[in-house]
Amino acid sequence: MPSQNSDVRALLIILILLWVFFSPDGSDPASLTPPELSHKRQARFQGALDVLDTTRWGDFAPDAPLSSLPPPPTETDRPDADREQGPRFINITGFSQLDGQGYAWEDLGRFRNRCREWSRNAFPSASASRLYDDDSWERNIGSGTWNNATGTLHGTWVRRPGTVARQAAGYNLSTIAPGATWPSGLGEWGRNITGDHGKVELRIDEDEGGGVYEEKVDGNTSRGASLAREIQAVATIQDDASEASSLSLLLHGVHWPRQGAILLTTSSEKFDGIFGLPHLAPGPNFFHTGQHLLNQTLGKIIEAREKSKYGFPGNPWGSRMEEDDGYPAQCEYVMYLQLHPFEITRRYDTLLESYIEELERELRHPTGAPIGRIPDLRASMVAWSPDCSFFLESKGPPEFPSVDGQHLVGMKEDMFTYTAKEWLIAFAAVVLGQIWLFKAQMKQSSTPSTTGRVSFWTVGTMLFADGMIFIAVCAWSLNATITLLPCLLVTFAAFISMFIEGAFLSEVWKIQEPERRIRDREREQAAAANRNVSSGAASTTTLPSTQPSISQPQPPTAQPTAPPSAPAQPRQPIIVPSDGDIDEAEQLANLLSGASALPLPATARTPGQPAPTNEPRPPTHFSAIIGRFVLSGLFLLFLSAVATSWPSHIRSLYVNTLSFLYLSLWVPQIIRNTQRNSRQAFTWRFMIGQSVLRLLPFAYFFLREDNVLLADPDPYAFLVLVGWVWIQLWVMCTQSVLGPRFGVPRGWVREAWDYHPVLRDDDLEGGKVGSLPIGLARTGTGLSTTTTASASSPVEERGGGSGSGSGRDRDREWSVVSLTGTASTTEAGESSAGGGTTTGNREREKEKEREKQKGVTMRSVDCAICRELLEVPVFNNNNNNNKAGSFFSSSSESSSSAVAAASSGMAGITGVFARKAYMVTPCRHIFHTDCLEGWMKYRLQCPICREELPPL
């Protein structure tokens, strides 16, 4: 017997696991970073900031040829005499001449040209009017885009190789970043995209309180890229052609809202991209505003870190999402995003700009103003890796048709939050609908008979799924701010659903406990029988038989041999259980051992008897089952967390497999219906309602593109799930109409009582299985013109009196019918006082001849529950005409007898419907189907003789 503290130990293990996986990291970052390394980083960042402050546009031109002429100077550029000819570099890590020997700076001009092309494609009207050429493309023609780009974008990309091929072996990292300790044997760098296509997801965050710089001329706002804002984004890039998981990058950069242009870059120990970002901009106006903005924001961060006691434990602008003490070599990225204008026709830019400002103000601080449909957030992307030398470009027009992609599409964060609120409220309504259906079903399954039909694992699947939802929403609520109230609503609904389903599941477990005891007892008896057979075979081969065994029967003339007298043993006390329930196996064991019919205590045994080796297994408590559910849920949570790092196709297979297993919740109920020979355990409202409600969340994620989880839609997988649920419902419908074992081979399931047997006229009443029920047998053979009273037939007793003409006396009616249920003839017996041959007698003779040809008659009996007349079809055993077989089924023409033919017809679909009207108990009493089913909802006893009945 297990220890009583097993549940406590399981709970302790669960708490330890939760503490290990969810406890915050309270380590001091300063204690993990050596002081000298922190000082080196501080000096490097300060030096890079000084270079950014002193350099001008054109100082970084690594792709300039030696014979090129210098570009025309701008207002802030240095004189031409001070400008060097040929390639020019700046003293920033990754941008210096020594570092430039490894980076593919030859593609810098190509990158800038692709940025201009993407911007021209976003504003085709400006491109057509030649106002967006290479020299003046920074003008204020980008109006009509979102001023604040905070939101989520997702789309597809294609890979294009760079001009020169670069390998990891061509870089000397110890020279580029001497302060970092790189691991030996780097091989190929991480974050290297090798596939031709894939998916990308961008989560852009542009804080309103972040850094902003606006350039003004003579106190007025100048046109062009005069306004710059600090921005950052998290990019998740997925390579469909690679077996590796998706990679995540943290990028920092600048947003020029009047042009809708965003420039982002990664930073690491080998590439200070944030300090050299202005030099990667497409034009000089972008450079000037970006330079002033970064000088302010980066300087504040460096100054704050200098005053902090932690210093620089890491790179504040690092591109890695996780904290790590090592320095893995990874590909760097420079990303350009061009926001697309609204699809709204406006005649004046000023009106459009004011409309955008009002729209963003209403989204950020709602006042109830009518704003209509919120435009989507759209952008084009071109990403360039200067060290791994490749380009990633968003897929869309004009290079690709719109059916292949629309570049990057998403929604603003405020709109995303509003959509998430709506979805959470709708999901809470779905869970509440499940609760309502469950409460209604619990009223229908309120008795032991109806509860015993329910599959434990079907309800357990629903409970397990709602428990996972409860845990997931609780985890979401810990970090939720705006969506906190909808999250709490879903959490409350999921908790109530868990509570109700758990209560009903415990009731099912308690009621089905005898079934489990019987199964355990059968297994133990089978094991004991196998041991007895093996021990008996061993004893016959080792022990000589000098006298017959006591357990073997003796001949009648043999004198019993007196066994040697044994000392009298004291009788063991007899303990009767409080419920008086004595198993048949215990009675048989006591009788064979010569004891009383009452069993001995479970712990008592006769002197000299060895201790039992197989003690009966104690029953499993419901709390242990709940503990297994909890452990299984935790394991599934950890496995799902690990699955986020799997390749996309394996992750999709994992999600689809879990969905298929979850929506197989009706399979255990189908199996239980077959095993118990019960037609229906749940109401159709419950089964159809639960199926639809549990499919609705899958419809949202599998069919809608802009769902809150940004999951890829998969309509084919959803059709498979819907078809699978539909098949399960049809199987249960077939079980309810045609029988729970319809189409199941007889040898696959255990024998069970058939409440709808085929009745045959064998003139035996209740004598054996297959005989007629009590009250349907006739006296004599064949059809008689008069009825004879029988004590076992209520109908015959009322119809067989002497010439009494009382109205309560009824004559037996015999109707020859077909399987369609239509009566072809009716034979009414006349009173015993009448005599002679009349027209009615001749009609009866004709009907008897037809009856013999048809082979089936309709007999009447009173239902003991409703006291109404019950007509049932009975087959004639004395009919040898093969026409009876053709009456039911054409396949019965080859049968050897009409009874077999009729039985085969009665086993068909039409015969099943004919037998659904009545139910016959093992004690051979017959009732209406609705009457007995209603009775068995409350008692599993015969209404007449109180004999125990097998469950439906």
Dihedral sign, CA of 718, 720, 724, 727?
A: positive
Structure tokens at 483: 């969506």
What lies within 8 Å, CB to CB, of 117 at 6+ separation is: none
- Tell me the Ramachandran region of residue 14: left when phi exceeds 0, alpha when psi lies from -120 to 50, beta otherwise: alpha
Could you say which DSSP state residue 271 is in?
B
Nearest-angstrom CA–CA distance, 730 and 329: 58
Task: Answer for the pair 382, 391: CB distance below 8 angstroms, yes or no.
Answer: yes
Nearest-angstrom CA–CA distance, 250 and 206: 14
Structure tokens at 262: 């965003």
Q: Is the pTM of this model over 0.85?
A: no
> To which H or E segment does residue 519 belong?
helix 513-542
Nearest-angstrom CA–CA distance, 803 and 809: 10
3-class SS of residue 926 = strand
Nearest-angstrom CA–CA distance, 158 and 172: 30
Nearest-angstrom CA–CA distance, 159 and 657: 31
From the list 101, 55, 170, 110, the residue with the least C-alpha distance to 334 is: 110
- Tell me the Ramachandran region of residue 553: left when phi exceeds 0, alpha when psi lies from -120 to 50, beta otherwise: beta
Q: Which residue has the tokens 């199964």?
A: 519
Dihedral sign, CA of 44, 49, 52, 54?
A: negative
From the list 794, 789, 747, 772, the residue with the least C-alpha distance to 924 is: 772
Could you say which DSSP state residue 948 is in?
B
User: What pLDDT was estimated at residue 292?
Assistant: 92
Superfamily of domain 858-865+914-951: Zinc/RING finger domain, C3HC4 (zinc finger) (3.30.40.10)
H helices of 543-666, where?
Answer: 584-592, 622-643, 648-662
Nearest-angstrom CA–CA distance, 698 and 661: 13
Please, which residues bridge with residue 926 across strands?
Answer: 920
From the list 251, 507, 482, the residue with the least C-alpha distance to 364 is: 482
User: What pLDDT was estimated at residue 27?
Assistant: 46
Residue 834 amino acid letter: G
Phi, psi angle pair for 80, to nearest 5°: -65, -25
Task: Answer for the pair 154, 410: CB distance below 8 angstroms, yes or no.
Answer: yes
Burial profile 87-112: b = 16 or more Cβ within 10 angstroms, e = fewer: bbbbebbbbbeebbebbbbebbebbb
Structure tokens at 563: 């066994």
Structure tokens at 503: 């209560």
| Domain parsing of the chain, residue ranges | 37-63+87-126+143-179+190-215+224-406, 417-520+622-738, 858-865+914-951
Query: For the chain (length 952 residues), average pLDDT per consecutive 10?
Result: 55 65 49 65 88 92 65 48 68 82 85 90 64 47 78 93 80 73 66 88 86 72 75 91 78 92 92 93 89 92 81 79 61 94 60 78 81 86 93 92 89 89 94 95 86 92 94 87 90 95 92 82 83 68 46 44 49 46 48 45 47 58 88 90 84 93 95 87 94 96 88 92 96 90 83 79 51 65 35 38 38 39 40 51 67 70 88 68 36 40 50 78 89 83 85 70
The rounded Cα 790 to chain-centroid distance in angstroms is 62
Longest dimension (CA), the chain: 144
User: What pLDDT was estimated at residue 15?
Assistant: 65
Task: Answer for the pair 331, 192: CB distance below 8 angstroms, yes or no.
Answer: yes
From the list 392, 146, 386, 428, the residue with the least C-alpha distance to 260 is: 146
Structure tokens at 28: 């001091």
- Give, in order, the Cα–Cα distances in Å from 132 to each of 122, 230, 276, 308, 697: 11, 25, 26, 47, 47
Dihedral sign, CA of 639, 640, 646, 650?
A: positive
3-class SS of residue 8 = helix
User: What pLDDT was estimated at residue 360?
Assistant: 84
User: What pLDDT was estimated at residue 456?
Assistant: 94
The rounded Cα 108 to chain-centroid distance in angstroms is 48
Structure tokens at 810: 């009824």
Structure tokens at 569: 């043993």
User: What pLDDT was estimated at residue 821?
Assistant: 40
Angle at 348 between CA 255 and CA 366, to 5 degrees: 60
What lies within 8 Å, CB to CB, of 887 at 6+ separation is: 818, 819, 854, 855, 856, 902, 905
From the list 37, 82, 30, 23, the residue with the least C-alpha distance to 55 is: 82
Structure tokens at 747: 């040898």
Nearest-angstrom CA–CA distance, 621 and 70: 86
Nearest-angstrom CA–CA distance, 350 and 358: 12
User: What pLDDT was estimated at residue 749?
Assistant: 81
Please, which residues bridge with residue 175 across strands?
Answer: none
**HSE-CB of 599 using CA atoms within 13 angstroms:** 15
Please, which residues bridge with residue 857 across strands?
Answer: 874
User: What pLDDT was estimated at residue 159?
Assistant: 93
Q: Which residue has the tokens 């704003």?
A: 371
Structure tokens at 774: 């009590």
Could you say which DSSP state residue 624 is in?
H
Task: Answer for the pair 500, 440: CB distance below 8 angstroms, yes or no.
Answer: no
Nearest-angstrom CA–CA distance, 176 and 94: 7
Q: Which residue has the tokens 């030859």?
A: 106
pLDDT one-digit tens code per residue, 215-236: 776 555 555 678 899 999 999 9
Nearest-angstrom CA–CA distance, 797 and 469: 64
User: What angle in degrees, to the nearest 10, is found between the helix axes of 35-54 and 284-307?
Assistant: 150
User: What pLDDT was estimated at residue 279?
Assistant: 93
User: What pLDDT was estimated at residue 708?
Assistant: 87
Task: Count the neighbouring beta carbons within 10 Å of the beta carbon of residue 83.
Answer: 16
Structure tokens at 730: 């049809």
H helices of 254-348, where?
Answer: 284-307
User: What pLDDT was estimated at residue 143?
Assistant: 63
Nearest-angstrom CA–CA distance, 861 and 867: 9
